[in-house]
């Protein structure tokens, strides 16, 4: 079957973004995959056989580059139906008074400003088409604040607020806006946050966390509702996790 829809997924080189890219290919979307690691984009492109894949290799913190990448999309790729704002990270875990300002900036620039830079380019396309769906990957950290998570939690609270603002402003244009807030998902997230695999593996010891595929399935549910139905938000946790800090470990 010919793909009729186009999706762009930021941060498709790993974890949730990569799982979403595969899920969208399965659902017959042509996909635009983005990320900084070109080799990972190449590998993912090779895995996907049934739809068209366009790779955009850029750092979402770079406003000019983000603008250029979207403005220079080939005409056949411009009519984007679905934007998954997934690229993001936590850098470090420390009391706020000991925080590293460079890491704060990295999180704010990626999780908030990067999301805004790319949305700013894509929302007018959706408005012109009078249709579209924006799915923002938030976090339990956007609902709760936990010790040493200060700035990361702040960025995800911002994602929650921006999502609500988008939903209100997109209302008149028929565009759906959803936030998905996962609890702990075993991806490269903790390795990026803690700087090494050994400490990252410990985060997921003693219980079954979520996996990237679980969140891709959640996105799949959200994007396959009837045209008149929007899922505003979903908070998706491992069965063994009740709150950001209450995890049942055996």
Site residues for ligand NDP per CB under 6 A: 11-17, 35-37, 40, 59-61, 86-89, 110, 137, 139, 182, 184-185, 187-189, 192, 212
Stretch that binds ligand 8X3, among 98-106, 116-124, 127-135, 139-147 (CB under 6 A): 139-147
- Using CA atoms, how far apart are residues 218 and 195, in angstroms rounded to an integer? 28
- Using CA atoms, how far apart are residues 30 and 48, in angstroms rounded to an integer? 10
**Given 82, 140, 216, 231, the residue binding ligand 8X3 (CB under 6 A):** 140
**Given 9, 141, 200, 237, the residue binding ligand 8X3 (CB under 6 A):** 141
**Given 114, 170, 244, 247, the residue binding ligand 8X3 (CB under 6 A):** 244
CB neighbour list of residue 31: distance below 8 Å, 6 or more residues apart: 6, 7, 8, 9, 12, 21, 24, 25, 48, 51, 52, 53, 54
Residue with Cβ nearer ligand NDP (14 or 163): 14
Examine the residue annotation and report whether 152 is marked as an active-site residue of this protein: yes
The residue annotated as part of the active site, out of 29, 117, 146, 152, is: 152
The token duo for 208 is 């079954």
| Residue entry with tokens 């938030």 | 138
In the complex, residue closest to ligand 8X3 by CB: 139
Tell me which of ligand 8X3, ligand NDP, none is bound by residue 175, counting a contact when its beta carbon lies within the kind-specific cut-off of 5 to 8 angstroms. none
Residue with Cβ nearer ligand 8X3 (127 or 234): 234
* C-beta neighbour count of 229 within 10 angstroms: 9
Report if residue 200 touches ligand 8X3, rule: CB under 6 A.
no
| Residue entry with tokens 């930021």 | 10
- Using CA atoms, how far apart are residues 84 and 69, in angstroms rounded to an integer? 16
Residues with a catalytic annotation lie at 152
């Amino acid at each position: 079957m010919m793909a009729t829809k186009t999706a762009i997924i930021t941060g498709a080189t790993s974890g949730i973004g990569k799982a979403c890219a595969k899920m969208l290919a399965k659902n017959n979307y042509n996909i635009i995959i983005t990320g900084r690691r070109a080799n990972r984009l190449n590998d993912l492109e090779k895995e996907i056989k049934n739809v068209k894949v366009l790779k955009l290799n850029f750092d979402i913190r770079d406003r000019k580059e983000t603008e250029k990448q979207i403005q220079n999309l080939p005409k056949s790729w411009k009519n984007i139906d679905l934007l998954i704002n997934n690229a993001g990270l936590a850098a470090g875990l420390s009391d706020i008074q000991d925080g590293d300002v460079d890491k704060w900036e990295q999180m704010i620039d990626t999780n908030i400003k990067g999301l805004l830079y790319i949305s700013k380019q894509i929302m007018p396309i959706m408005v012109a088409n009078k249709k579209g769906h924006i799915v923002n990957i938030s976090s339990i950290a956007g609902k709760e604040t936990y010790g040493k998570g200060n700035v990361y939690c702040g960025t995800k609270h911002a994602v929650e607020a921006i999502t609500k603002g988008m939903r209100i402003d997109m209302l008149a244009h028929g565009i759906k806006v959803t936030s998905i807030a996962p609890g702990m998902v075993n991806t490269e997230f903790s390795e990026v946050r803690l700087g090494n695999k050994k400490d990252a593996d410990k985060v997921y010891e003693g219980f079954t966390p979520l996996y990237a595929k679980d969140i891709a399935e959640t996105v799949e549910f959200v994007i396959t509702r009837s045209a008149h139905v929007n899922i505003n938000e979903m908070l998706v946790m491992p069965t063994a996790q009740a709150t950001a800090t209450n995890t049942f470990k055996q």
